[in-house]
Amino acid sequence: MEKAKVAVFAGGVDTSATETKGTVLIHTADQQENYAKTEEAKVEELIKAVADSGAKVIVSETAVGEMALHFCECYKLMVLKISSKFELRRFCCTTDDLGYVDSISVDEIAGVKVTVVKNEEGGNSISTVLLRGSTDSILDDLERAVDDGVNTYKAMCKDSRIVPGAAATKIELAKRVKEFSFTETG
């Protein structure tokens, strides 16, 4: 899907269940048919409202009901299910304040389906690093190395008194002294 508005639901997209148990007495087939039509009309009303808002993609943390999926197909809406609240939060960070993405797709990388979200304009503060390794221990080491690097960079941005280690500061100072000495003698 290209250039799409996104609607994000923290809960499910379906008819809501009540908090207490209730009993509905249905005496005739017409009553049951009317009850089903009312449920169907409420779900269609919800999906139509999302489509009328201009959204082309629905993202939900929990399951999307079959009836809701049917109406999403009728209104040509793409549906994505996010598996955890942390991934949902990260997804929301990739969209701008208006819930807009330049492109969204589901691709397969090394046999795993992944959702690829791109916002080329405006610059995002989220990036994804895809790590691959032959064993779990290698992947664990790679993950720790990336975490260490990202956290070091974050710490350096927050506190200007922190300098890079492993002689990186000395190397940069040596380069600048060399540049300075060549321009002065010039």
| pLDDT tens column, 97-131 | 558 888 888 888 878 788 788 877 766 566 778 88
Q: Which of 125, 146, 174 is the last residue of a domain?
A: 125
- pLDDT of 27 higher than 70: yes
d(CA 92, CA 87): 9
d(CA 142, CA 133): 8
The DSSP code sequence of the chain is -EEEEEEEESS-BSPPPPSS-------SHHHHHHHHHHHHHHHHHHHHHHHHTTEEEEEESS-B-HHHHHHHHHTT-EEEE-SSHHHHHHHHHHS-TT-EEEEEEEEEETTEEEEEEE--SS--S--------SSHHHHHHHHHHHHHHHHHHHHHHH-TT---TTTHHHHHHHHHHHHHHHHHH-
Check whether residue 30 and residue 113 sit in a common domain. yes
Residue type, 49: A
Check whether residue 100 and residue 140 sit in a common domain. no
Longest dimension (CA), the chain: 102
Check whether residue 101 and residue 164 sit in a common domain. no
The mean per-residue pLDDT over the stretch 13-27 comes to 67
d(CA 138, CA 144): 10
* Number of structural domains found in the chain: 2
Predicted TM-score of the model (pTM): 0.60
Q: Which of 106, 125, 144 is the last residue of a domain?
A: 125
Check whether residue 26 and residue 3 sit in a common domain. yes
CB 84 within 8 A of CB 32: no
Check whether residue 90 and residue 23 sit in a common domain. yes
Check whether residue 35 and residue 96 sit in a common domain. yes
The mean per-residue pLDDT over the stretch 30-46 comes to 82
Look up the domain containing 171 and give its range: 129-186
d(CA 63, CA 75): 19
Check whether residue 8 and residue 94 sit in a common domain. yes
The mean per-residue pLDDT over the stretch 57-61 comes to 86
pLDDT category at 75 given cuts 50, 70, 90 is very high
- pLDDT of 28 higher than 80: yes
pLDDT value for 38:
81
Check whether residue 55 and residue 70 sit in a common domain. yes
Check whether residue 85 and residue 19 sit in a common domain. yes
Check whether residue 105 and residue 134 sit in a common domain. no
Q: What is the mean pLDDT of the chain?
A: 81
- Highest-pLDDT range among 34-43, 48-57, 62-71: 48-57
